[in-house]
Structures are given as structure tokens and as C-alpha cells.
Structure 1
Amino acid sequence: MLRSPTDKSNITYGSAPDLNQGTDDRSPDACVTLRSSKRRRCDCGSSDESKLDVFINKLTSWKQDTDSKLTGILESMNDIKKQNAELLASNAEIEKSINFLSEKYDDICEQINNQQERIKAFDLRLSSAEEATEENNRLSRANSLEIRNLPIKQNLPQEELIRTCDLIFKELGTEVAPRDVYDIRILPSKQESKTVIVTLNSVILKNCILRAYKDFNKSNPHGKLSSSLLGPNYPRQVIYMSENLTARTRRLFYLAREFAKAENYKHCWTANGRVLLRQEDNGRLIVLNSDTQITQLTTLKSKN
């Protein structure tokens, strides 16, 4: 059996589902019932704004720090630029000073070279003058001879000297008249044995006396010329006779004798005021003019 639907408008409920039904919207109580029974949601907009402010503050702080650092860097760069400019200026001054000193150095070197050239020229002129002086001294002594190791007094008169020398010349077998003697003197010495310089009027006569002296000693190897011929009051001692050499030639003769002993040269002697060397009897004659030649001979001997 079909039933017709019930009219719901006349149905009364124990509790009204519509709480607002039958009430005045303007009453105070109605406001209470109109409140929402659900929980309110949080205000998320204000939280986002807070985070943004924090981020902006941090960004601002970072920017300030960065600006401060950049400012410090710029100041440092400006200081460096200033220092660099000062260094460039200082380098320019130093370069000018170096160029100035370089020019002065070149001038000084040129002056030194010129001075050295003048010194060389002066040395050549001095050497030439020394050679000329040595040659003049050699020529002035060409007719003189030395008689050494004579046991006589320092202040012996010339007449006694001439008599003493005349005894020696006669012993050698040579005739020397007083007129042949140009000058005769005793060299100053503190030793008891003296050296007498006899200057003759002839170089030929001087050479004859020296030749007779060498021949006498060769003929009498055990009875060489001695002072015993002067008289019984004189001590017996060997008398030496040679050319009257200059100081330079005398030193050169000493060096030549030492060289001859060391290098086994058989002959070393003087003639006409010059020093001569000969290694063998018929060997090459070497005339020594300076000690440089002896050094050269020594170097040549060591190489061979």
C-alpha cells in the first residue's frame, strides 16, 4: 500500500536544528549563537613579514660589511698607487743618477787609459834615459880596473898606491909607467882588505893587464896572485882583479853566475863592461843586457 509523503513543516523536533529559527537577529543573545564554533587559523602573513625583515637586516648588514671592506681595499689600492708613483719617481731619480755615474765612469776610464798611455810613454823615455846613463857609465869605466882584497890602509897616499900597483903589474909581466895611470883611489870600506880603482889612459892597456892576470892564474893554479909580493910585512892573501863594473852590471853579473851554476853553463865572464854567457866551449855567445833575459832563459830551459 502506497502512502503519501508526510508534511515536514508541521513536525516538531526535540531540538531545533536551526538555532537561529524564531529569534530576533537584533537581540544580544543572537550574537552568541552566531559565533563560529571552529578554531581560528594562525596569521601567516605577519610571520612572512618577520622573516623578510630578518633577511633584509642580514642583507643590509652584509652590504655594510662589504662596503666597509671595499672601502678598506680601495684605500689600500690608493696607498699602493701612491707608493708606486713614489717608487717610479724614485726609480727615475736613481736611473738619472746611474746614467750620471755611468758617464762619469766612462770619463774616468778614459782618463785612466790616457794616464796609462802617458805612463807607458814615460816608462819608455825613462828606460831610454836609464840605458843612455848606463852606457855613459860603462864608457866612463872602460879604462878602469878593480884590484880587490889588498891588505893596505885606507889613507894610503897615491904615491904608495902607484908603487903597490906597479909591483902587481910587474908580477904579471906588464909594464905600466906612472904616466899611464890617469887616476887611482881606494874605495871606502870598514874591512881590513881594500879595493883599489885604477883608471888608465888606455883601454888597450887595461885589457892587456886583465889578460895577463888570467894567464898568470892559469899558469900558477897553486900559487895564484897574492899580496905576498908586496913585502914580508903583508899577510898572504889572494888578490882579485876585474873590470870596474857599474852597479847594475855588477848585479847582473852576480845573477848570471848563479844562473850558470844552476843550468851548467861552462863560461860566464865580463868584457868591455858587458856580461857574457856560453854553455859550451864553442857554443853560442849570449850577451846579457838585463835580468829579464835570465828569466827568459830559465823559462826556455824548463820548457825543454
Structure 2
Amino acid sequence: MSLQHSPPQSRRQSIESQNSTTSTNATTSDATHSRPATADVNTNVTQRNNSRNKRQRRGSLDKTPDCDEHNSSIMDLISAQNDKLETIMRTMKEMQGQMNEVKSSADFMSAKYEELLSKCEFLEEERRADKKYIQQLENKLENVDRVGRLACIEIKNVPAKNTETKDELCSTVQNICSAVNIRIQKEDIKNVYRYGIKKQINLELTSVLKKEEIITAIKKFNRTDNTKKLNTSHINLEGPPQPIYVTEQLTFRNKKLYATARDLAKTHKYRYCWTSQGTVFLRKMEGSPAIRINEDSDFDRMEI
């Protein structure tokens, strides 16, 4: 009978240790053989990345002549742009200075303009006041002149002699008054003379009443027979009869107003246009109110 002896405990532990190592190596070997493709792929990717990084670092460090020329062109362009920018900045500073000067000048001119404007307004007010005062003075002078002519008569269209004395002129005036049945003495005559281009006779009487009497008588005489109005035949002058016009003497301004009034009376069919006491009057028809004409603005009151 064979007897099997159990190995000693120390040997048994050695054998178990060997078996465990063998089992571990087998497991590791199996795992290694089971993933060969994955390891190879990772290794290739890592190698390519390292190679690429090396190429990039090597390219960034290598400088070619074309790159230097390109960099030089860029630097020249930047330098030119900087010069232009500096020029523009200097120009803008100069323009700013000029604008400030223009603004100062404009402010100065504006202040002067306001000053001149106020002076002009003051002068305009002063001018209006002076104009009003001058108009008042002119009206006063006109009134004085008109009053001074109240006793004066103008006799027109009486032929003049080559040599004519005041006595002869007085005789002519007396003959005219006799023709209209008015008696006049030399004592009624203050002065008589011819003046103007047409040599009309200016008769200055001693009273306004006598002047009004003569004017009224002549108007009545002319209305009596329109075919035989006062003319040169009534005072025994030789030659063909010529109409004689007798009117009261007007001032220069009233003469112009009277001429304008006569023209407007014909245009707008005013029946009456006359003068009295050196003043011009208009009347549309019999019974209508008379319009007194003292100045040009009074014509606006006419009925057109």
C-alpha cells in the first residue's frame, strides 16, 4: 500500500505563489493580445501630431526673403499712413484755429450789427419825427403863402405889348372889370405886373372882398352866354378874339393839386371842380358834398 505524503507547508506556499504568478501573466498576455489595434492607432496619432507641431514650430522660426519684403512693405504703408494722419491732424488743428477766429469775428460782427441796428432804429424814429416836423413847417409856410395870395388874381391870355407900363396894365384891368359890370379904381389896385413865360398878368388888390367880387362877376358873365365868354374883343384889343381866363392866384402846391383835380374830374365824371380862398374843391354832382383837396391823399376820398 502506497502512502502519499502531504508536502510541507513552506513548499505548499511556494507552489501556490508560482501558480498565482502564472495565472496573472496569462491574464495580462490575453489582454495584451486582445487590444493590439487600439494601441497602434493611438501611437500613430501621437506621432503625427508631434510631427505636425515640429513642422509648425520649424516654419514659424524659418524666415524667407519674401516674408521680409512683405513685412517691409507693411511697415512702409503704416509709416505713410501715420504721416498722412499727422498731416490731417495738423490741418484740422489749423482749421480749428481758423474756425475759432471766424467765430470770434462773427461774434464781433454780430455785436456791431446789433449796435448799428439799434442806431438805425433810433435814426429812423428821429427821421420820422423830423419828417413830421418838416411837414408841419411846410404846411405852415403853405398856409402863409396861401393867405398872402388871397387878394391876388391871375389874368391869362391877354396879349402883351412890346413896351407896357403899369398904367397901361391898370387900364387893361379896368377894361376887363368894366366888361363884366364891375367898377374898379386905381386905389383898389395894390400892384400889377406880368410874369412867367406866358406873360400872364398878376393883379394884387387891396382887399379880398374886391377880389371875390371880380371873380364872381366874371363867372356869372361867362355862364350867361357860353358862346360869348370873356375874350379880347370885350376890352377892345385888335385881332381875332381870344378867350381871357381870370382865376384867383394859387400857391405852387395848389396849382399842381388843381391840375390833377381837373384831370380826375374829367376821368371820373365829376361835374364841378373849382377853387375858393386858394383851396381846391371837387363835387360829383349837384347836391353832393364837396371834397376839399389839401394834399394828394385827399384824392382817395373821391367816388370812383
TM-score, shorter chain, exceeding 0.5: yes
AA partner of residue 195 (structure 2)? L
Q: What secondary structure does 1:150 align onto?
A: coil
Task: Confirm or deny that 1:258 pairs with 2:279.
Answer: no
Deviates more, 1:165-174 or 1:231-240: 231-240
- From 66, 72, 80, give the equivalent of 1:64: 72
Q: What secondary structure does 1:71 align onto?
A: helix
1:116 and 1:200 map into 2 onto residues whose CA distance is: 46
Q: 1:232 to 1:124 in 2, by over 3 A?
A: closer
Identity of aligned residues (%): 24
Note the C-alpha offset of 1:275: 0.4
Q: TM-score scaled by structure 2?
A: 0.76
Deviates more, 1:254-263 or 1:147-156: 147-156
Q: 1:268 to 1:188 in 2, by over 3 A?
A: closer
1:110 and 1:267 map into 2 onto residues whose CA distance is: 51
Deviates more, 1:267-276 or 1:155-164: 155-164
Q: What secondary structure does 2:157 align onto?
A: strand
2:71 and 2:238 map into 1 onto residues whose CA distance is: 129
Superposition pairs for residues 152-191 of structure 1, below 5 Å?
152-153=160-161, 155-189=163-197, 191=198
Matched-pair contact (CA < 8 Å) for 1:145–1:199: yes
- From 222, 227, 245, give the equivalent of 1:217: 222
Q: What secondary structure does 1:242 align onto?
A: strand
* CA deviation string 1:148-174 (max 9, x = no partner): 111232641111111111111111111
* CA deviation string 1:169-199 (max 9, x = no partner): 111111111111111111143x5xx411111
* CA deviation string 1:279-299 (max 9, x = no partner): 1111121000112222x247x
User: What does residue 83 of structure 1 align with?
Assistant: 91
User: What does residue 286 of structure 1 align with?
Assistant: 291
Matched-pair contact (CA < 8 Å) for 1:143–1:200: yes
* CA deviation string 1:212-245 (max 9, x = no partner): 0010011121111111132253542111110011
Superposition pairs for residues 112-131 of structure 1, below 5 Å?
112-131=120-139
- From 227, 234, 251, give the equivalent of 1:229: 234
Matched-pair contact (CA < 8 Å) for 2:180–2:221: yes
How many residues of Structure 1 are paired with residues of Structure 2 in the alignment? 252
Q: TM-score scaled by structure 1?
A: 0.76
Matched-pair contact (CA < 8 Å) for 2:292–2:298: no
AA partner of residue 134 (structure 2)? L
Matched-pair contact (CA < 8 Å) for 1:158–1:185: yes
Deviates more, 1:100-109 or 1:226-235: 226-235
Q: What secondary structure does 2:226 align onto?
A: coil
Task: Confirm or deny that 1:238 pairs with 2:246.
Answer: no
Note the C-alpha offset of 1:260: 0.7
Matched-pair contact (CA < 8 Å) for 1:154–1:188: no
AA partner of residue 233 (structure 1)? E
User: What does residue 100 of structure 2 align with?
Assistant: 92
* CA deviation string 1:93-137 (max 9, x = no partner): 111111111111222222222222222222112111111111111
Instruction: Provide structure 1 residue ranges, at least 5 long, that are not aligned to the other structure.
Output: 1-43
Task: Confirm or deny that 1:205 pairs with 2:213.
Answer: no
**Superposition RMSD on alpha carbons, in Å?**
2.4
Matched-pair contact (CA < 8 Å) for 1:210–1:242: yes
- From 130, 133, 144, give the equivalent of 1:136: 144
Q: 1:122 to 1:154 in 2, by over 3 A?
A: farther
Note the C-alpha offset of 1:57: 4.3
AA partner of residue 257 (structure 2)? L
Instruction: Provide structure 2 residue ranges, at least 5 long, that are not aligned to the other structure.
Output: 1-50
Matched-pair contact (CA < 8 Å) for 1:147–1:196: yes
- From 197, 201, 215, give the equivalent of 1:196: 201
1:118 and 1:153 map into 2 onto residues whose CA distance is: 54
Q: What secondary structure does 1:65 align onto?
A: helix
Task: Confirm or deny that 1:73 pairs with 2:81.
Answer: yes
